[in-house]
Amino acid sequence: MLAFIIRRLISTVLVMGLVGVFIFLLLHLSPGDPAAIIAGDNATPAQIAAIRNSLGLDDPLHLQFARWAVRVLNGDLGISIFSNVPVATLIGQRLWPTVSLAFTTIVLAVTLALAAGVLAAWKAGSLIDRLVMILSVVGFSLPVFVVGYLLIYVFAISLRWLPVQGYSPMSDGFWAWASHLILPSLALGLAYVALIARITRTAMLDVLAEDYMRTARAKGVATGPMLLKHALKNAGVPIVTVIGIGVALLIGGVVITETVFNLPGIGRLVVDAISKRDYPIIQGVILLFSGVYVIINLMVDLSYTLLDPRIRY
Amino acid sequence: MTAITARIASQPVRSGLWHFVRRNPTLVGGAVVLLLVVLAALAAPLIAGDPIAARPVNRLKPPSAANWLGTDQLGRDVWARTIYGARVSLMVGLSVAAIAMAIGLVIGLCAGFSRMVETVVMRLLDGLMAIPAILLAIAFVSLSKASVGVVIAAIVLPEIPRVVRLVRAVVLSVREQPFVEAAVASGTRVPKILRRHILPATLPPLIVQATYVCASAILIEAALSFLGAGTPPEIPTWGNMIASSRVYLGLAPWTIFGPGLALALVVLAVNLVGDGLRDRLDPRLARRM
């Protein structure tokens, strides 16, 4: 077990190292001059020369990479071209809306998806089952921004039940915070729900066909505990795997959702950086989001033994 | 007697087609929708007016006989722009699928047949897969001048690892088959084994994967355009249309939901074709899903 954890940690570090190499090479092998890109569109030749000098862009590539990697490991993600503020500071300022959105989306989506998947498997072949399956195909095909605008149009503009856009920190009241996050979480979570519900249904169907499920039913275990404790827990491994893989879907969607709902989070930071061609910000956020993805999948791998004690490494 | 033979003889053709439709509702449904969209995109000049002409007097008009999907904030016809937008979406989807399949197939075949290539390539792809596709594409586009070609390249890059993994998995399983062993034993050279024995086995799952890559490419292109990191704004694409009209959502919802519905419909159709093909070509996978 310990050997597995160590092996898994080493491969995680390796993957993050490769992510760093890719992001570094993307900038340095792109057709433009990296110094000119980092300096921004309005820089004078003297400024570009200064940046070229301070980054040591005339040194061999591997030396540059080593220096850059050391800076990144010390939490220095570079300085924003447009606002001249360190990228790490900018990300820190934008952290809470994104964390709130991610948290509510994952809670909402996983709850909905597990309920739908369990129900569909339990009533396999019924109307509910077919409805869940159709929704899971359709939900996977609907673009986040189209769903987002549809939700805004129906629930915020027409019915006036919820605010149209924006973010309200939790310090201004729980309901204000939650009401601003309901629609974004639904829009962002739809594809995630579709993915998890589908796998939950499949995994549950496999488990429900097992002999011990028939035994449980024969013993007279009540339906609720039977579905949740006997079946769902044993169907956990593939479900948790998909929850981890699906985080990639969420990360891409966060960027779009924050734009649609005008949430001042990290996703908006990137989108604003696109039009200003502020590459250090884009680079910093990619590193951060890739890191989150890698760490979540590490946790998923480690959780297998908790879910299924038969798995030993 | 002759009446019966005549009936039997006439039956297969009609019932054959009908039987196929009944057995493959998703495949046929998706293919029909997709075919209609492709025809509409090809015949755009015939069935839609000018997608660029702005008539400010006519701005934000609701759907009518003259403008089937209404007009946008510059008085441009939303129907015409939606039809022309299909051209970009379909071109990006098909190009990305074709290029990603070609590159992924070559890398996957090499990785499946050489232990050394495999270790290096699979590690590199693990790194590439850890970067969220949209962010990788944003970084790629922001370092280059915006054009449809750059957008295609930016979407191909994150799609490659998925294709390589699939091809490699197939190669690894086929490589142990007796007929490959026999070919190796009789002295067939590796390139010929790959071409004659391995390649045919990879094609069915690869075609299924191509449809999913196509759907995902159409979605990512629309998202990139929507975020301002995609196709240049002067070209009408579904993402660009939604981005430029989004502040008029309350006043003129047709400017958003016209292209939005088209996008959802096309992606759904491509996914349905993929599901249908998977059920036909790869029964093992179909049962698992």
Comparing CA positions, the residue from A267, A261, A263, A250 lying closest to residue A156 is A261
CB atoms within 10 A of CB B110: 18
| Mean pLDDT, residues B3-23 | 65
Which residues lie closer than 8 Å to B269 by C-beta, 6 or more apart? Answer: B29, B30, B31, B33, B34, B37
pLDDT band with cut points at 50, 70 and 90 for residue B287: very low
Residue A298 lies in a domain: yes
Residue A50 lies in a domain: no
- B132: which chain A residues are within 8 Å (Cβ-Cβ)? 248, 251-252, 286, 289-290, 293
Of B222, B249, B263, the CB nearest to A152: B249
**pLDDT exceeds cutoff 90 at B66:** no
Q: Identify which of B6-15, B66-75, B130-139 has the greatest average pLDDT.
A: B130-139
Residue A46 lies in a domain: no
| Mean pLDDT, residues B93-103 | 96
Task: Convert the pLDDT of each residue in B183-207 to its tens digit.
Answer: 888 888 888 888 888 888 888 889 9
pLDDT band with cut points at 50, 70 and 90 for residue B38: very high
The Cα of A189 is separated from the nearest Cα of chain B by a number of Å equal to 16
- Note the helical H segments in B43-147: 44-47, 78-113, 115-129, 133-142
Cα distances from B100 to residues A22, A66, A269, B107, B173, in angstroms, run 19, 32, 30, 11, 22
Comparing CA positions, the residue from B32, B36, B60 lying closest to residue B47 is B36
Identify the helix (H) or strand (E) that includes residue A61. Answer: helix A61-73
A13, A14, A22, A247: best to mutate for the B interface, most B CBs within 10 A: A22
Q: Identify which of A57-61, A163-167, B249-253, B256-260 has the greatest average pLDDT.
A: B256-260
Comparing CA positions, the residue from A95, A138, A72 lying closest to residue A267 is A95
Cα distances from B265 to residues A1, A139, B37, B165, in angstroms, run 48, 12, 9, 29
pLDDT at position B284 is 59
Cα distances from A28 to residues A47, A57, B272, in angstroms, run 18, 9, 41
pLDDT at position A186 is 94
| Mean pLDDT, residues A231-250 | 85
CA dist., res. A158 & res. B245, Å (int): 18
Q: What is the mean pLDDT of chain B?
A: 86
Of A150, A256, A294, the CB nearest to B130: A294
- A157: which chain B residues are within 8 Å (Cβ-Cβ)? 249-250
Q: What is the mean pLDDT of chain A?
A: 87
**pLDDT exceeds cutoff 90 at A269:** yes
B34, B37, B121, B138: best to mutate for the A interface, most A CBs within 10 A: B138
- B89: which chain A residues are within 8 Å (Cβ-Cβ)? none
Residue A24 lies in a domain: no
**Does B3 touch chain A if contact means CB atoms closer than 8 Å?**
no
Task: Please tell me the number of Cα atoms within 13 Å of B24 on its side-chain side.
Answer: 22
**pLDDT exceeds cutoff 90 at B266:** yes
**pLDDT exceeds cutoff 70 at B15:** no
Cβ contact, residue pair B130, A16, below 8 Å:
yes
pLDDT at position A312 is 64
pLDDT above 70: percentage of residues in chain A: 98
- Note the helical H segments in B114-132: 115-129
CATH number of the domain that residue A106 is part of: 1.10.3720.10
Residue A57 lies in a domain: no
| Mean pLDDT, residues B259-285 | 87
Q: Output the DSSP codes for A102-136.
A: HHHHHHHHHHHHHHHHHHHHHTTTSHHHHHHHHHH
Residue A47 lies in a domain: no
pLDDT at position B100 is 96
pLDDT at position B5 is 52
Residue A252 lies in a domain: yes
A·B CB contacts under 8 A: 143
- Note the helical H segments in B130-237: 133-142, 148-175, 178-185, 190-193, 199-227
- Domain that includes residue A177, residue range: 87-307
- A142: which chain B residues are within 8 Å (Cβ-Cβ)? 264, 267-268
Residue A194 lies in a domain: yes
**Closest-approach residue (CA) in chain A for B274:** A137
**Does B288 touch chain A if contact means CB atoms closer than 8 Å?**
yes
Cα torsion at A36, A38, A42, A46 (round to 10°)? -60
pLDDT at position A88 is 92
Q: How many domains does chain A have?
A: 1
